[in-house]
Amino acid sequence: MIPMYSMSTETVETLAYFQGEDIAFLPIATGVVYEFIEETAIDHADNLLNPPELEPGKLYAMVVSDIYGLKRYQTDDLFLCRRKIKGLPDLAFVRRRSLEYSFTGEKLTAEQLSRVFDQLRALYPSLLADRFLTCVPNQPAHSIPYYKVLLVGECHSTSHDLLAARCDELLAEINCEYKSKRASGRLGPITFSDIETRDFAEEFARIDNWETQFKFLPLHILPALHTPDMTPVS
């Protein structure tokens, strides 16, 4: 199992802990001091929690510092505390707390995309069964920018136009700037595209040390993906 790693702080966030066939992911890396802030709390020292204080079922942002504790770093990585193992939280990475992308001020966030993807799965369960969805900002050389949603998994007949139109509508409902930029023509319509899981993973293998930084996110910004008819994004 691959350790959870924060590229922004160069810190190991969780390590695998095995009990027979059961596996948990605990904040136990050597030389790292772990603290947490509940998702809805303000970033302030008074709101910091030690690992044993986390409660199962709640989301927490991880804050790290070195063993000397001279400076804290807000990683902005959100974890779900699934349970407690010997007093320590079993952490599952959920998403980046502040991950967003903006071509023209729309500030599209990973949280907004997660909500829309959940709605799409509820509306079209047969079309999205066993598929992972991730969104990639796309800036063609001689055209207006737009977002492309990749359907990761075994490729099969899918109503891309239907999904794209509904996704566009749902995003406009929760992001007024996105709605405005689409109406003005500064953003192009969102599109959907298929990509096999193996091909998707191989794209990340092009990145040095990709195993330590790879996270399945609703919004991908850094990796350069080269799917057909897509301009690479960096």
Say how many domains are in the chain.
Answer: 2
Please, what's the b/e burial string for 25-54 (b: 16 or more CB within 10 A of its CB; e: otherwise)? bbbebeebbbbbbbeeeeeeeeeebebeeb
Give the gyration radius of the chain's Cα atoms. Answer: 19
Residue 212: per-residue pLDDT: 38
Residue 124: per-residue pLDDT: 92
Residue 105: per-residue pLDDT: 81
Which domain CATH number covers 174?
A: 3.30.300
Q: Of 96, 130, 146, at which residue does a domain stop?
A: 96
Q: How do residues 141-195 score in pLDDT, each as one tens digit?
A: 778 999 999 898 887 766 899 999 999 999 999 999 999 999 999 999 999 999 8
What average pLDDT score do residues 202-218 get? 53
**Quick one: 137 and 49 in the same domain?**
no
- Neighbouring CB atoms inside 10 A of 183's CB total 10
Residue 47: per-residue pLDDT: 93
**Quick one: 127 and 42 in the same domain?**
no
Of 25-34, 122-131, 147-156, 221-230, the one with minimum mean pLDDT is 221-230
Distance CA 64, CA 188 (A): 39
Q: How confident is the model at residue 77 (pLDDT cuts 50, 70, 90)?
A: confident
Q: How confident is the model at residue 205 (pLDDT cuts 50, 70, 90)?
A: low
* Percent of the chain scoring above 70 in pLDDT: 82
Q: Of 81, 96, 111, at which residue does a domain stop?
A: 96
**Quick one: 159 and 83 in the same domain?**
no
Residue 186: per-residue pLDDT: 92
Residue 118: per-residue pLDDT: 92
Asked whether 133 and 120 are in contact (CB, 8 A), the reply is yes
Domain ranges, residue 34: 4-96
Residue 134: per-residue pLDDT: 87
Nearest to 60 by CA among 74, 71, 72, 46: 74
**Quick one: 79 and 149 in the same domain?**
no
Residue 123: per-residue pLDDT: 94
Q: Of 96, 114, 134, at which residue does a domain stop?
A: 96
